[in-house]
Structure 1
Amino acid sequence: MEGMEQWKVQVENWSSQLRELLHQFLQHVHQIPPAQLYAAIAVLSLTTLFLLSIRLFRRKKSNTIVLTGQGGSGKTVLFYQLRDGSSHLGTVTSMEPNEGTFILHSEASKKGKIRPVHVIDVPGHSRLMPKLDEVLPLAAGLVFVVDALDFLRNCRAASEYLYDILTNASVVKKKIPVLILCNKTDKVSAHTKEFIRKQLEKELDKLRASRSAISAADIANDFTLGIPGEAFAFTQCQNRVTVAEASGLTGEIAQVEEFIREHVKP
């Protein structure tokens, strides 16, 4: 009982102090000239609105999808399939980015308001890497296109390219989702997406080991991959990495469109 009485006395003291502080505050407010008080309220209100507008602006989701990968993997054909449903037969390997904002061709006949997608097709040529670094911070999602038909011959080079993407600061910090798209799967001799996933994970694991042995001064990447001491798997990435199949020439791109609409809402 004695402890309870002490607690009541302490609560009463706190209440008394709080009332005294509130009384002093109100007295101080009453001493402020009305013009100054109104000006202070106006400044506070404008500052609050400004900060809220910045937060709302930042929350606005990007509608940019970046296509990239090695030359000859079929990125340009995929770009045109998404845009107008054509394969543009005769298209050669691009040396300049293709870029456009459009309604996905498969959604062209849908009624109601549909959000356009801004697609940037960045060729895999090494001299265009600065362009990729420039557009990655804008991306709502990234599609890394792999030639499933000629995969084994290009596996090492594709893995090195993918390693640079998955350790890029923008991709890691913003957790940009990556879709590894195995293109040309309409061909009988094309490798399956599961085979390609496993091979890429093995190569990335080797790259992680070799690059970690290089001195820090020589490493251009911002982050390292995976969990130390464990074999690398895409599930260890801080951003979501998935694997899908497609055929740009035959228009079988439903999985790409699903990925786009998952990250660029209609």
Structure 2
Amino acid sequence: MSTSTLRSLIPDSLIIANNEYYTLLALLALLTLVGLAATFAFGAKKSSKNTILITGLPFAGKTVIHYLINHNRSVETITSIKENEANVVLTEGKSSVHIVDIPGHERLRFKFSEFMPIARAVVFVVDSATVARQTRLLAEYLYDILSNKHAQEERLPVLIACNKSDLITAFKKDRIQSLLEAEINKLRQTRTAALDTQDSEGNENVFLGFEGKDFAFQDLENEVDFIECSAEIKNVEDIKDWIAAVSS
């Protein structure tokens, strides 16, 4: 780009004594200010998304985990009919994190989409002891979350929290990952025909992973992690650490 072209991009008020050298410096300063403003705006937008969603099927232990994280105590729970919300400081000196426990009932679980525009990350709770019987339902729910337009655009990190890992009948996280990947792989085929449609919940029927390759979480642009935990014995520290890390 010639100096004369650069000069044409600068308001007359910034052209200093018709000096090309100073004019170039003025342009560079202007571009720097624009870059800083854009960076600040992006950072402000990201920091405003401080909501962590806790999702999953009924009886997975979502609400107990929610209370352990927010109040460091467990409670007897029933199937939630309304989301539970709380603000909690996980790291001393850091801002509080807004945590929302989404009801798992089939008529209410879609409400996760209402919070996705302000979500920073998603914790998807799985009952490790019953996962083999619920794999299809889990895969469908997880597919809806991963294909949500906000999850796609923001590349929201997702934690698969394998709860009740203390039970003798519990599956290990690697086995749970394999079950979910195999089921999502089959589920993709039934949704491929609707790739260009968008439902009322704001979810796009996108194709997760790579075509021609079996589905694997590692192929997603979203970072997906698996951890084992147990709300029953108050072992949720790994969840708290993960939330603190993605919220910083």
TM-score, with structure 1 as normaliser = 0.75
- The CA distance in 1 between the partners of 2:196 and 2:45, in whole Å, is 34
- The CA distance in 1 between the partners of 2:73 and 2:176, in whole Å, is 27
- The CA distance in 2 between the partners of 1:206 and 1:149, in whole Å, is 22
Query: How has the CA–CA distance of structure 1 residues 130 and 49 changed in structure 2, closer, same or farther, with 3 Å as cutoff?
Result: same
Query: How has the CA–CA distance of structure 1 residues 122 and 169 changed in structure 2, closer, same or farther, with 3 Å as cutoff?
Result: same
- Whether contact under 8 Å (1:77, 1:248) holds in the other structure is yes
Amino acid at match of 1:103: V
Cα displacement (A) at 1:64: 1.4
Over residues 2-25 of structure 1, what are the superposed CA-to-partner deviations in whole Å (9 max), with x where a residue is unaligned? Answer: xxxxxxxxxxxx88x89x99xxx6
Query: How has the CA–CA distance of structure 1 residues 130 and 149 changed in structure 2, closer, same or farther, with 3 Å as cutoff?
Result: closer
- Whether contact under 8 Å (1:68, 1:123) holds in the other structure is yes
Does the alignment pair 1:57 with 2:44?
A: yes
Aligned to 1:40: none
- Whether contact under 8 Å (2:218, 2:224) holds in the other structure is yes
- The CA distance in 1 between the partners of 2:48 and 2:197, in whole Å, is 35
Query: How has the CA–CA distance of structure 1 residues 195 and 83 changed in structure 2, closer, same or farther, with 3 Å as cutoff?
Result: same
Map of 1:1-266 to 2, 5 A cutoff?
54-60=41-47, 62-88=49-75, 90-104=76-90, 113-212=93-192, 214-216=193-195, 220=199, 221-222=203-204, 223-265=206-248
Aligned to 2:20: none
- The CA distance in 2 between the partners of 1:184 and 1:154, in whole Å, is 15
- The CA distance in 1 between the partners of 2:219 and 2:116, in whole Å, is 21
User: Cα RMSD (Å) of the superposition?
Assistant: 2.9
Cα displacement (A) at 1:119: 0.4
Query: How has the CA–CA distance of structure 1 residues 166 and 55 changed in structure 2, closer, same or farther, with 3 Å as cutoff?
Result: closer
Amino acid at match of 1:244: I
Amino acid at match of 2:53: V
Cα displacement (A) at 1:54: 3.9
Gaps of 5+ in 2: 18-29
Count of paired positions? 222
What is the DSSP-based 3-state SS (H/G/I as helix, E as strand, rest coil) of the residue aligned with 2:138? helix
Over residues 160-218 of structure 1, what are the superposed CA-to-partner deviations in whole Å (9 max), with x where a residue is unaligned? Answer: 00011111110011000000110000111111111000000000000001221x35576
Gaps of 5+ in 1: 1-13, 31-43
What is the DSSP-based 3-state SS (H/G/I as helix, E as strand, rest coil) of the residue aligned with 2:144? helix
Amino acid at match of 2:51: T
Aligned to 1:41: none
- The CA distance in 1 between the partners of 2:152 and 2:35, in whole Å, is 31
